[in-house]
Amino acid sequence: MKRFLCFIVAVAALLALAGQSIAQQSSKSVVLHAGRVLDVKTGKLLSDQIIVIADGKVVSVGASADAKPPADAVRIDLPNATILPGLIDAHTHLTSDPKFGYEELAISTPREALTGAKNARVTLEAGFTTVRNVGAGGYTDVALRDAINAGDVPGPRMLVSGPALGITGGHCDNNLLPFEYHAVGDGVADGIAAVQHKVRENIKYGADLIKICATGGVLSKGDDPQASQYTLEEMKAIVADAHRLGRKVAAHAHGAQGILWASEAGVGSIEHGSYIDDAGIAEMKKNGTYLVPTLYLSDWFLENAATIHIPDFYLAKARAVMPAARKNVAHAFASGVKVAFGTDAAVYPHGLNAHEFAVMVKLGLTPLQAIQAATLNAADLLGWAGKVGSLEPGAWADIVAVDGDPLQDVTTLEHVKFVMKGGQVVKNEYGR
C-alpha cells in the first residue's frame, strides 16, 4: 500500500509539472512576422510587419524594424503572405446543411447539433473566426456556441439567436406537414403579448440576439417572399423588449414593405433585402440599419438545383426572387446603405462562405468595401467593434493569411492558408 501511495504521489507530481509546462507554453507571447498586413480601416497594405500577441489578444502591430518583441516569444514567420483580421459571417446556420423540402423532416434536434459541430470546424478553417448564427431549431446553436467556448469542439466565435420568431404559417413556421400533425415552429408567436413572451423565452434559453421573419421566404411552402408577416406594431414590441434586455434584432426580409417596417421598428439588420426599394433604403440610411445581402447562394442553388432534389414550390420562388435580388441589392449598394457580410451558409455547403466577396464586388462594391463588410462593419453590427474585425491593441488575435493581394483579386480570400483564433493556430498550410 505504501509503495502504491508513493507511486500515486509521484504521478501527481509529474502531472503537475506537465500542467505547469503547458500553462507556461500557452501563456507565452506570440510574434507573427508578416510579409504584408492589410489595414482594413485605411486600405493600406503594410510591408514587413510584426504582430505581437499575448493572452490571446493583439498587443501591437508595427514595422519589423521598429519592433521589440519579447525574447522568449513563440515566433511564426509568414514572409510571403498577406495578413488580415479573421473574417466575420453575419448570417450563418451552422447546424443545418443543404437539405431541402421533406428531407428536412428527418433531421432530429440531436442530429442538427452534431451537424453544427462539423460545420463549425469547416467554417473556422475557411477563415471565418466569428459568425452570427441567425436561426436554429431546439437551441442547437446555443449548445454549439457553449461547446466551442468550453473548448469541446473547434469553431468560430458565435453569437446565436436560437429559433427564429415568425407568424403562424409563415416562413419560420413548419409548413410542410398537414393539419393532423399539428406541427408548429419553435419560434412561432402571434400578437404583441405572444411575441414579447417569445423574445423573453429565447433569451432565457441563451440567445445572444433575436431573429425575426418580417416577410415570407424562398425555402418554405405556401408563403410569399414579398408579403410582410409581422405587423409594424408586433415588430416594435419585439425590438423594444430585445433592446431593453440587451439584445439586437436581425430581420429576415425580402419584400419592400417588410424591409421598411423592420427598419422603422429598429432592427439592427435586414437579411437578404431582395426587393429593397428607395423608401426602404432611405429608412435604413436614416436609422443606420445594416443590409446583410446573401448573394452567392443564388449561384450555387440554381446551378445545383437538378442534383439536390429541390421541390418545385421552392424552385419556382427561387427563380423569381434570386435574380431580382441581384438588381435591387446593387441599387442599394450604389445608394450607400450600410453593408455587413453574410452568406446564409447552409443553403449551400459551409466552407464556401468567401465566394460571397466576388459577387459583392460584381454588384458594385470595391474589394476593400467587401472586405470591410466582413471585418469592421460586421464587427460593428455584432456589437464587437474593437474586439474582432480589426488588428489593433486589445482585439482578439483572430488572424487569417492568404497569398497575393485581395485588394487586386478578392477571390484570394476563397483560399485561406493560415487561420489563428485567439492567438492559437488553427490552420497553417505555410508550415507544411
Spatial strand order in the sheet of 290-292: 210-213, 249-253, 269-272, 290-292
Residue % of the chain over a pLDDT of 90: 85
Whether residue 12 has pLDDT greater than 50? no
d(CA 43, CA 41): 6
Q: Dihedral sign, CA of 129, 338, 366, 364?
A: positive
Task: Please state, in angstroms and as integers, the Cα–Cα distance from residue 157 to each residue in 153, 368, 417, following that order.
Answer: 12, 23, 19
Q: Which DSSP letter does residue 2 get? A: H
Q: Among 103-112, 226-235, 273-282, 417-426, name the one with the lowest average pLDDT.
A: 103-112
Instruction: Say which DSSP state 415 is in.
Output: S
Which of the pair, 74 or 13, is modelled with greater confidence? 74
Q: Which three cell numbers stand for residue 133?
A: 448564427
Report which of 76, 113, 254 is spatially closest to residue 172, judged by C-alpha positions.
254
CB 195 within 8 A of CB 238: yes
Output the nine-digit C-alpha cell for 194: 405572444
Cite the DSSP H helix spans in 69-160: 109-125, 140-149
DSSP string, 145-176: HHHHHTTSS---EEEE--SPBB-TTSTTS--S
Q: Which residues pair with 87 in a beta bridge?
A: 128
* Helix ranges restricted to H, 270-408: 278-287, 296-304, 312-335, 355-362, 367-373, 376-382
The CB density around residue 72, as the number of other CB atoms within 10 Å, is 8
pLDDT in tens, 16-51: 444 443 334 445 799 999 999 999 999 999 999 999
pLDDT > 60? residue 133: yes
- Over residues 8-22, mean pLDDT: 39
pLDDT computed for residue 67 by the predictor: 73
Query: Which residues are bridge partners to 37 per DSSP?
Result: 46, 83
Buried b (16+ CB within 10 A) or exposed e, 14-30: eeeeeeeeeeeeeeebb
pLDDT tens per residue, range 51-92:
999 999 999 999 987 877 787 889 999 999 999 999 999 999
Q: What is the largest CA-CA distance in the chain?
A: 83
